[in-house]
Amino acid sequence: MGIRVDEVGGLVSVQSDVFVSKRLRVNLGTGVAYVANDAFGGLLTFDVPPKGTISNVIFIDLDDEGIQKDLFLSNRIFTPTADNAPFDVTDDFVANVEGMVRIIDFFDLLNSQVGQATPAMAYNAPEGKLYGQLITRGADNIAAGSLPLIFLKIV
Secondary structure element (H or E) that encloses residue 16, with its range = none
Q: What is the mean pLDDT of each run of 10 residues along the chain (155 residues)?
A: 56 76 96 96 98 98 98 94 93 85 97 97 97 97 96 98
What pLDDT, on the 0 to 100 scale, is given for residue 81? 95
What pLDDT, on the 0 to 100 scale, is given for residue 91? 83
What pLDDT, on the 0 to 100 scale, is given for residue 10? 62
What pLDDT, on the 0 to 100 scale, is given for residue 12? 62
Helices (H), the chain: 91-95
What pLDDT, on the 0 to 100 scale, is given for residue 96? 81
What pLDDT, on the 0 to 100 scale, is given for residue 149? 98
What pLDDT, on the 0 to 100 scale, is given for residue 53? 98
Q: Indicate the DSSP class of residue 142.
A: P
What pLDDT, on the 0 to 100 scale, is given for residue 4? 54
Domains along the sequence of the chain with CATH: 18-154 (2.60.120)
Spatial distance between the Cα atoms of 51 and 95, rounded to a whole number of angstroms: 19
pLDDT tens for each residue of 60-94: 999 999 999 999 999 999 999 999 999 998 887 78
Spatial distance between the Cα atoms of 31 and 9, rounded to a whole number of angstroms: 59
